[in-house]
Amino acid sequence: MLLVNLTALTTLNSFGKSLHLFLYQCFAVVCLTALIALIPWQRARKVVQDVLIGLSVVLLFTDIYFACYYQGLPDQAIMEVLIATTAEEAWGYVRANLLNIWLIGGLVVGLGLVYLLFHFVVKLRYVKGVVRTLSYVLLVASLFTIGNMVKDVFKHKDKTVKSLTHNCCSVLRTGTQFYEGWTNMRNFERVLHRGNLHPRLLKNSSSIPYVVFILGESTSRHHLGIYGYPLNTTPYMAARERSGNLVKFTDVISPHGQTMPALGKLFTFYRHGAKGAWYDYTDLFSILNEAGYHTVWLSNQEFSGIYGNNGRVYAERCSEYAFTKLRGSDSYTIKDPYDEEILPLLDKSLKGAKAKNFIVLHLMGTHQNYKFRFPETFRSFSATEEKGENDKIKQTRADYDTAVRYNDSIMNDIIKRFEDKNAVVIYVSDHAEDVMEINKKIAGHSEIGLNRRMVEIPMMVFTSKRFQTAYPMLTARIRNAANRPFETDDMIHALLDLMDIHTADYKPQLSVFNQHFDAKRTRYYGTKKY
């Protein structure tokens, strides 16, 4: 059991973490074996044992397949897709991907190896000292795991138990993921059908052919060269600003320091102080669908799970959506895709563009772990160029600034695709990041310990030459708005104003692009006044 469950170790990148998980795995297997030993009937015990081992072997091969082809182990997102898959679709997948002579050959060889391995392990019990040594290892592992579980109780955490059920034993992991995927889908379906999906439009004079919304991730305005940061982290956007096609907004904050709550407010009428839940409010995509827009959601973020669901609700409401990779919040990926992998999705989508298009590109941006956000060949800054109290802070900032620099290049690649079109491109980060500026102990963002650095975000609006010629007044309104104090929980008002669409909930004084914009609005981040 232990040997066929070792694949999870390949998802970790440090020896310490792998050892930790190995000890947990030992404990998980001890518990499982002990439970089976409690079955009083010998035949039943044997059947359960064989089924468990058989399933583990099947999952071993599935894990290896996923690790090779999808750079990660199957997770909740995969389970959800599986649950929603029809037999015909499943057969289509098998025909396209699995009926491959190399794969089948590999499977046969693999099964042979596993058979030999079992044979060898069974014989091991007669070798002197082996059973005793193994027993010691299992005992130490069990004590270590139980110790950590006790520690968790005092810290009010469930880290160890979660690791045991989600990460140690493939049978247990798959079972939990299947159950969680099932419940998540049921909850998700409920949220998906709430709100006003066919809002009545009071006015629809929309005509802009391409409205593009780049939704960034964890990017702090204070690390962007274009906003005065000493390192040149945004050469592309700075050049576009100099050429007069890009306006940067200097005083924008997000309502929260975390993706989920920030996203709930970004594209709905739900704002600070509103009652109920975000999904009870009318969302932008339902309005735009009614207004005749072809709505598109392209994402390099999670497909499902606690951090993925809000984005997915919006995605499902769009005319089309695509994700670079189907992964969930608890996913064990060896390598996340870089944001550049969203570009082929965009090119494909643009081939089917309609008369009026609203396209969201949800990036991974500069989310932790910063050094995994860009290919190492892209590295632009080193710790020696950074300011900071110690080497750790300097290195963290060098990674973060390189991620910002990479984000700048991705934004540029996206804008390039709309330069010759009649298009407006809006960029905003979901929230910002404290790169150990206020909290010196740890970099990141969170609703707990929320500070101003976690909400002070960049916002930029690019307009193409064709757009500027077609909408001179609107272009002027965008330029005039650059220094207004804005919070992104009112983004829906700004976008509807920009696109000239009105509904009963739309308020011009909440749109940053409007001449009646209320600059005196009290802004809140979390529950604090800004």
Residues that bind Zn ion (CB under 5 A): 217, 259, 430
Give the closest residue to 455 by CA, choosing from 229, 256, 265: 256
Q: Smallest gap, in angstroms, from Cβ of residue 523 to Zn ion?
A: 19
Q: Smallest gap, in angstroms, from Cβ of residue 349 to Zn ion?
A: 23
Instruction: Specify the residue, 177 or 324, whose C-beta has the smaller distance to Zn ion.
Output: 324
Instruction: Specify the residue, 245 or 259, whose C-beta has the smaller distance to Zn ion.
Output: 259
Q: Which residue is nearest to Zn ion (CB)?
A: 259
Q: Smallest gap, in angstroms, from Cβ of residue 217 to Zn ion?
A: 5
Instruction: Specify the residue, 220 or 289, whose C-beta has the smaller distance to Zn ion.
Output: 220
The dihedral built from the CA positions of residue 316, 498, 483 and 399, taken in this order, carries a sign that is positive
Q: Smallest gap, in angstroms, from Cβ of residue 438 to Zn ion?
A: 18
Which one-letter amino acid corresponds to residue 258? Q
In eight-state DSSP terms, residue 220 is -
Rounded distance, CA 289 to CA 285, Å? Answer: 6
The dihedral built from the CA positions of residue 465, 466, 472 and 474, taken in this order, carries a sign that is negative
Q: Please classify residue 198 by burial: count the beta carbons closer than 10 Å to its beta carbon, then call 0-12 exposed, 13-18 middle and 19+ buried.
A: exposed
Instruction: Specify the residue, 63 or 302, whose C-beta has the smaller distance to Zn ion.
Output: 302
Instruction: Specify the residue, 246 or 432, whose C-beta has the smaller distance to Zn ion.
Output: 432
Instruction: Specify the residue, 217 or 302, whose C-beta has the smaller distance to Zn ion.
Output: 217
Give the closest residue to 299 by CA, choosing from 289, 308, 286: 308
Please report which residue ranges of 38-100 form alpha helices under DSSP H.
Answer: 42-70, 76-84, 87-93
* 25, containing H or E segment: helix 15-37
Q: Smallest gap, in angstroms, from Cβ of residue 495 to Zn ion?
A: 19
Q: Smallest gap, in angstroms, from Cβ of residue 226 to Zn ion?
A: 21
Q: Smallest gap, in angstroms, from Cβ of residue 426 to Zn ion?
A: 17
Partners of 304 in beta bridges? 328
Q: Tell me the Cα Rg of the chain.
A: 26
Instruction: Specify the residue, 369 or 469, whose C-beta has the smaller distance to Zn ion.
Output: 369
Give the closest residue to 27 by CA, choosing from 137, 151, 121: 137
Say which residues have a Cβ less than 8 Å from residue 38's Cβ, sequence separation at least 6: none
Q: Smallest gap, in angstroms, from Cβ of residue 430 to Zn ion?
A: 4
Instruction: Specify the residue, 271 or 431, whose C-beta has the smaller distance to Zn ion.
Output: 431
Are 307 and 217 a contacting pair, CB within 8 Å?
Answer: no
